[in-house]
Every structure is written in C-alpha cells, then in structure tokens.
Structure 1
C-alpha cells in the first residue's frame, strides 16, 4: 500500500462504523470532563478530584483501544474493533509504561551528558556570581554580566550546545524506536516484545527508516491541519468546544493510529 492509499484508508476508517465511532467519541468527552467542567465555573474540589480519577481511568481505556486499532491496521482489519473496557484498560497501562521507558532512556543519557560537559556546574557558578554581584550593589544587567567569569559563560554555552544536539538526536532516534516498539507490542500483546531492540531494528529496516519518517511527517501535518479546523470550530460559542472534542479529537486519534498500523502492515504479514 502506497502512502496515498494509506492516508485515504486512514481518513475513511474512523467513520466506517458509526456506532463504534460514537462510543469512542463519548469516551473522549468523558476523559475531557476534568478540564471542561472547571472552565464552566465549577470549582468543587470533590467533583474535580472524582473527574480527574475518571479521566485517568478512561485515558488508559482510550489508549488501549487505540493500540487495538493499531493492531487492526497491521492485520488488515477494515472496521473499528469492539470495545472491551478491561482488556483495553490493561493494554493502555502497558503501553504507557512502554512509552515512559522510551522517554526515560534518552532523558537519562542527556542528563549524564549535561553533567559530564559541565552544564550544571557552570550554570551554578553563573547564578552564584550573579547573586554575589547583586549583593555588592550591581543594579543592571551589564554590571551583573561583567561580574560573571567569562570561562563559566563559555563552558555553559558549549555544554548547552552539546547537550541540546545530543538530546535532540536521542529524542528522534528513540521516538522512531518507540513507534516501532508500540506497533510490535500492539501486534503481540507483550510488553517485552516492545523492548526487543534487535527485533525492533529489524522491523524498522523492513519498513525503511526514511519511509517511516516521511509517513510520520505526512500523518502529523494532516493531524495538525485537522487540529486547526477543530480550533476554528471551538470558537463557536457554547457548543464549539463539545463539537471539537466529541468529533474532531476522536477522528484525529483514530486516523493517526490507523495510518501507523498500515505503515507496518507488510512487516507482520
């Protein structure tokens, strides 16, 4: 399936079963109540706490359902999956843990690089030098900057550059890995499979890294355009926000996960 066919399939997919789509839409609305209700002036702490708890629970169900959509895409399923609250809740929790792991690894490496390059120590010296200058009567930015050792500023700038470059590169790499890991997890139902880096790299090689990047860019651009449309709809007084959340957000989520599933379909078939 080429990119155009993939996108057209993903666009049509959310509305191929109106009943299931509306149920999913209702879940998104329920998940959003903790942010919607307070915006209408409801400030009861008990109500807000209950709504927050409901949001967390439903969010895991929604994520698990999207994982099922992803799996359906890899298997060539043409209709939305049936909703199984317990199954999808568990799937959602596992998927979240997997995402956290793929976020923590580059974060830890970036923090180690930042520390080793002197980013934290030079920043501390700059702050203490600035505070010392102000205590001695420096009243403007020029005087404060003059009191900071140039070596500390140079070290900080160099360390910041190195840290940012490495951090961005790691973020891109692990983002691509996490996409494939989530697909592998969706297909197998095993979180361990989402951590088999050697197999994940093989899957990426089969799809093609460039193909993954290009497809994801197209998916996100379309999602962004749809989000802008939702934003315009949201300007309609009173009902705009509910229309956007009830129809727009669910459509975008289903579109994105369906498209990613189709991208990896050839790997698992």
Structure 2
C-alpha cells in the first residue's frame, strides 16, 4: 500500500462516522481535563488533582482505543471501533508499558554515556564538548527507538501479545519488512499533518471559554483516529 493511499484513507477515516467521531472527542476532552481546568484558571489544588487523575485515566483509555483503531486498520475494516472502557484501559496500560520500555533504554544509554565521557562533574569546556557528542548519539538513539516503539505498538495491536511487542528481534523484523525508509517518510508526513492539526487546534483554543473544549473534542478525536488508522495501514506492508 503506497503512502499516498495510506494517508488518503486515514484523513477521510475519522469522518466516516460522525457519531463515533464525537464520542471519541468526548474521551479526548476527558483526557485533557487538567488542561481545561487550568485554562479556566481554577486555583483549587484538589480540583486540579482530581482533574489530573481523571485525565490520566482517560488518556490511557484514549491510547487503548487507538490500539483498537490500529487493529481495524490492520484488518482493513473501514468501521470506527466502539468505545469499550475496560478493553481500552487494558490496551492503554499495555501501550504505556511499551512506550516506557522503548523510551527508558535510550535514556539509560544517554546517562551512561554522560558518565563515560565525563560530562557529569567536568569542567565547563569539557562538559560542553562532551555533551555535544553525547547529545548527537542520544538523538540518533531516540529516533531509532522511537521508530521501534511505533512498530511495537502496531505489533501489539496485531498480536495482542505484549511479549512480542517488547521483543526487539520481532519488532526489528517488522521494521525491515516494511522498510526503514518508508517508515521514516511515513512519520515525517504524519508529523506534518498532525502539526497542521495542532495549529488549527491552537487557533480554536483562542475562542473564549469553549475554545479548548472544542479543540479537544474535534482535533483530539481527529488526531487519534487519523494517526492510528494510518499506522494500522502501514503495518499491513509487513
């Protein structure tokens, strides 16, 4: 499947069922509840704390729902999946575990390299020079593991097996089969489209009182459905 076909399908997909689109939007609003509370300048720590907890839970639900969208993309189903809070929360927790595992490795390597190259506790001149070199290595590592994490999430959606998603050999095999160049180009195009959606979201956010809610409702739902649908279609090429 060409990238043109993938993104053409993924852009239209969120609007194929407006009712479900809006339901996903409500979940996105709840996931961003702490930001909404902040925008209304609510200074109560307890209110903000409760909003943060609710937001975190529904962020997991939204992430897990995204996994179900990936599954439908892999199976070439044009249907937008229903919300299933229990299943979505389960998938969301697994998605968080996958993200942490693939993030923590480059972080650990970065810290080790800082110690090896004497960045920590060194003179300013030496620290700056060493930090520059370590930063380049770190950026490359974060890009590599970022790519692996994206495909690992799709792997989990396909197999429903966390062990396979955390198997670097399995995930690397999928990356090779899809093509590293195609994945990088896919991520660049996806980033551009999401960035444009983000700009639109920011503009909507300027609407007094309801702007941030409308932004989360519409743009939040679009980004979730679009990005995960595109990933599911990309994974078919494995």
Q: Which residue matches 1:110? A: 110
Q: Which residue matches 2:159? A: 188
- SS of residue matched to 2:237: helix
Deviation at 1:20, TM superposition (A): 1.4
Q: 1:105, 1:221 → 2: CA distance?
A: 27
What's the TM-score, normalizing by structure 2? 0.95
> Cα RMSD over matched residues?
1.4
Alignment of 1:22-33 (within 5 A): 22-33=22-33
8 Å CA contact 1:74, 1:266 repeated in 2: no
Q: Which residue matches 2:143? A: 172
Pair 1:265 & 2:236 matched: yes
Q: 1:58, 1:241 → 2: CA distance?
A: 17
Stretches of structure 2 that go unaligned for 5 or more consecutive residues are none
Q: 1:65, 1:212 → 2: CA distance?
A: 22
Stretches of structure 1 that go unaligned for 5 or more consecutive residues are 123-151
Report how many aligned residue pairs link the two structures.
238
Alignment of 1:52-67 (within 5 A): 52-67=52-67
Q: 2:106, 2:35 → 1: CA distance?
A: 30
Structure 1 ranges of 4+ moved more than 6 A: none
Deviation at 1:253, TM superposition (A): 1.9
Q: 2:215, 2:3 → 1: CA distance?
A: 27
Q: Which residue matches 1:80? A: 80
- SS of residue matched to 1:81: coil
Q: 1:199, 1:38 → 2: CA distance?
A: 42
Pair 1:97 & 2:97 matched: yes
Q: 1:218, 1:206 → 2: CA distance?
A: 20
Q: Which residue matches 2:170? A: 199
- SS of residue matched to 1:82: coil
Deviation at 1:44, TM superposition (A): 2.7
Q: Which residue matches 2:3? A: 3
**Which has the greater radius of gyration?**
1
Deviation at 1:51, TM superposition (A): 1.7
- SS of residue matched to 1:77: coil
Q: 2:195, 2:17 → 1: CA distance?
A: 24
The alpha-carbon distance between structure 1 residues 225 and 38, as it changes in their structure 2 partners (threshold 3 A), is closer
Q: Which residue matches 1:138? A: none
Q: 1:202, 1:103 → 2: CA distance?
A: 19
8 Å CA contact 1:234, 1:241 repeated in 2: yes
